[in-house]
Amino acid sequence: MRSNWATLCAALAAGSLSGSTAAVTLEPIQDVAVRALPNAPDGYTPADAGCGNGRPAVRSAATLSQSEQLWLEGRRNKTTDAMKDFFRRNKIAGFDALSYIEDNANNATALPNVGVAVSGGGYRALMNGAGALKAFDNRTENSTSPGQLGGLLQSATYLSGLSGGGWLVGSLYLNNYTSVSGLQADEEGTVWEFAQSIFEGPTEKGLKIIDTASYYKDIFDAVEGKKKAGFDVTITDYWGRALSYQLINAPEGGPSYTWSSIALADNFKDGDMPLPILVADGRNPGELFVGGNATVFEFNPWEFGTFDPTVFGFMPIEFLGSKLEAGTLPRDEACVRGFDNAGYIMGTSSSLFNQFLLQVDNVNIPGFIKDAFKSILESIGNDNNDIAAYEPNPFFHYSNESSPFANERALNLVDGGEDLQNIPLHPLIQPERHVDVIFAVDSSADTDASWPNGTALVATYQRSLNSSGISNGTAFPAIPDQNTFVNLGLNKKPTFFGCDSANMTGPSPLIVYIPNAPYVFWSNVSTFDPVYNNSERNAIIQNGYNVATMGNGTVDANWSTCVGCAVLSRSFERTETEVPEACKQCFDTYCWDGRLDSKTPPPYEPGIQLEPLQLPSMASGVLPSALTLAAAVGMTTMLMG
């Protein structure tokens, strides 16, 4: 493993590409806030540590954790205040929404419970999703102007991310819940510097003073430390370490920053931000393909586990790496901390390596390079290194009758979108969380031109109907087929699903589907593009802002009102409040009416909706990382003979 990685690192460094660094300033510069607290005992290497107040154990998923329940009490107070502010600015004709929130302020079960889910899709998903969160964030300049959506993020209880969307969520929280504007600011120390490829390493800026050679050496040394400590390592360890350099504003990518460190930050403990959740899929023993019946695992700041009936359990995430057996830690085993490295968890949610193996025949690269690439990936896959290995398996001999992982020493996890549920809705549709509305930002590359066509929603809906019981009774709104999405234009404008809860099999949130579409920039960049100069980065983020706001209300001046109606919809039902006429009109406009048009559509080629942004020349361009990787593999093959 060592020689292959060292050679590949050298080849990648030699073959990596970077785009132009010309910048266009679309937002005022903001400082990145102080970072979250690191809490790993020995950098990237997991190590024995004290158990604290009690030894870790697996609990049943029948309820939310005590930590989440206590946190919710404080967070709900904050979201109530944020909703008052939101509805003070966003009026609903003929209805006093502000007074409605105030009148129900002492009854948390009556008030709306909001979630936001950001899909996967590499850097495209990070940037398009960032534009949406920027629109929802009242810290963004002008986001609280009439018709804008600033404050929706502050009103949300949950924020979930997957793959590239998980990078976005992780980067925000691991930099102390800073703003998107702060992460993209064009100044010394800016975190999101994507003009320098992840395969080349960061430039000398701010706290990240490093060259390419030492970048790869530091990555290798960090992973080697984990390996020498007796833990299995896979490609995801290297991938996660590399991601950290681009996403965490700390020396050497913050090797001591863990996912559990988020829970240590005072502003998180005080409920000043939504609960961040990342998603990954379990890969069943002996399988390469991940299907719709995969166990979906979540990472939150307190716990790791799943609501799925296969395992139906959670364990304290801080003690990942401890040798639990049958749900408890034997007395002769030490408590391990530091395994939940933040980069490793973000990397786990984006472990696409076995998908590269499955899809390499469809990548447009020269045949001889493709063969070399495939050969190396097959070798990696045969050694089970194409996944994220959670060894020791925290659910070893737990749920023996139902878990495919109960007898496995290692729990193998992969990208959370491999089961086609590329929007991380799973944690937010669990009945225990009582989420009323989910703003689902979809940056998926479902079509040939890398636009979404509703596949992620279809997959979650089909899973809810699964007769094998994997859905565990979780309800989800009816969703049409992908052809209908394209033929009826449901994939190029926001659409509400689940408006009539009476037609559903159980409690389920209203889904506000917000698909990526060209408003001011062609944001359908390839999932495999690793390099973006600041102009391109800012333009894709700005387009995402326009997607979420429907062109700042220029496409539909009533959009912000309709967002408010979506937020209140389930609350209206619980309080038996008559739906305002303005909201009825919104639901007539945006709710899917049940129509189907399943004939094969022509190639989906949407036109740009507003005046396009004018960027400096892109002659220096961006090449797909598949080409960069393929060139690297070709070089590796030659170097290895």
Cβ atoms < 10 Å from Cβ of 226:
24
Phi, psi (deg, nearest 5) at residue 192:
-85, 80
Out of 157-171, 284-298, 330-344, 451-465, least confident range: 284-298
Measured distance CA(34)–CA(176) in Å, rounded: 6
pLDDT (mean) for 435-458: 98
Measured distance CA(624)–CA(630) in Å, rounded: 10
Cβ atoms < 10 Å from Cβ of 622:
22
User: What pLDDT sits at residue 399?
Assistant: 97
Per-residue confidence band for 148, with pLDDT thresholds at 50, 70 and 90 = very high
Model-level pTM greater than 0.85? yes
Measured distance CA(626)–CA(373) in Å, rounded: 10
Cβ atoms < 10 Å from Cβ of 142:
10
**263 vs 633, residue with greater confidence:** 263
Measured distance CA(546)–CA(541) in Å, rounded: 9
Tell me the pairing of strands 388-390 and 59-60: unpaired
User: What pLDDT sits at residue 383?
Assistant: 57
DSSP state of 97: H
Measured distance CA(275)–CA(300) in Å, rounded: 7
SS3 (DSSP) at 160:
strand
pLDDT at 28 over 80: no
Measured distance CA(130)–CA(167) in Å, rounded: 10
Query: For residue 450, how many C-alpha atoms fall within 13 Å in the half-sphere facing its CB?
Result: 17
Tell me the pairing of strands 313-316 and 303-306: antiparallel
User: What pLDDT sits at residue 529?
Assistant: 82
C-beta of residue 350 within 8 angstroms of C-beta of residue 49: no
* pLDDT tens figures, 98-143: 999 999 999 889 999 999 999 999 999 999 999 999 999 999 999 9
3-state helix, strand, coil in the chain (%, to 5): 40, 10, 50
Q: Give DSSP secondary structure letters for 58-70.
A: -EETTS--HHHHH
User: What pLDDT sits at residue 378?
Assistant: 62
What does the domain layout of the chain look like in residue ranges? 18-351+387-622
State what percent of residues in the chain have pLDDT above 90.
Answer: 68
pLDDT at 36 over 90: no
Cβ density class 101-119: b for 16+ within 10 Å, e for less: beebbeebeebbbbbbbbb
Cβ density class 567-588: b for 16+ within 10 Å, e for less: bbbbbbeeeeeeebebbeebbe
Q: Is domain 18-351+387-622 in CATH 3.30.470.10, yes or no?
A: no
Tokens 């990936």 found at: 377
C-beta of residue 266 within 8 angstroms of C-beta of residue 259: no
Tell me the pairing of strands 388-390 and 411-415: antiparallel
DSSP state of 611: P
C-beta of residue 620 within 8 angstroms of C-beta of residue 19: yes
User: What pLDDT sits at residue 207?
Assistant: 44
71 Cα distance to chain centroid: 22
104, containing H or E segment:
none
Tokens of 192: 């999101």
User: Which residues does 16 contact at the CB level (< 8 Å), separation at least 6?
Assistant: 197, 199, 200, 628, 632
CA distances from 232 to 44, 225, 264, 339 (A): 13, 11, 28, 11
Tokens 């912000």 found at: 560
Phi, psi (deg, nearest 5) at residue 60:
-70, 145
**319 vs 220, residue with greater confidence:** 319
Task: Report the chain's mean pLDDT, rounded to a whole number.
Answer: 86
- 607, β-bridge pairs: none
Measured distance CA(625)–CA(634) in Å, rounded: 14
Largest CA-CA distance found in the chain, in angstroms, rounded: 75
Phi, psi (deg, nearest 5) at residue 313:
-160, 160
User: What pLDDT sits at residue 289?
Assistant: 75
265 backbone φψ class: left, alpha, beta (φ>0; ψ -120 to 50): beta
Burial category of 155 from C-beta neighbours within 10 Å (exposed 0-12, middle 13-18, buried 19 and up): buried
Phi, psi (deg, nearest 5) at residue 59:
-115, 160
- Cα torsion 85, 91, 96, 99 to 10°: value is 0
pLDDT at 442 over 70: yes
User: What pLDDT sits at residue 374?
Assistant: 58
User: What pLDDT sits at residue 352?
Assistant: 67
Q: Cα Rg for the chain, rounded, in angstroms?
A: 23
* pLDDT tens figures, 498-526: 998 877 777 899 999 999 999 999 999 99
- What's at 519, amino acid-wise? Y
* pLDDT tens figures, 262-302: 999 999 999 999 999 999 999 998 877 788 889 999 999 99
- The H helix count followed by the E strand count for the chain is 19, 14
C-beta of residue 429 within 8 angstroms of C-beta of residue 509: yes
Phi, psi (deg, nearest 5) at residue 362:
-95, -5
Measured distance CA(476)–CA(507) in Å, rounded: 8
User: What pLDDT sits at residue 375?
Assistant: 57
Cβ density class 503-537: b for 16+ within 10 Å, e for less: eeeeebbbbbbbbbbbbbbebbbbbbbbbbbbbbb
Q: How many residues does the chain have?
A: 641
Query: For residue 33, how many C-alpha atoms fall within 13 Å in the half-sphere facing its CB?
Result: 16
Per-residue confidence band for 379, with pLDDT thresholds at 50, 70 and 90 = low
User: What pLDDT sits at residue 617?
Assistant: 59
30, containing H or E segment:
none
156, containing H or E segment:
strand 156-161
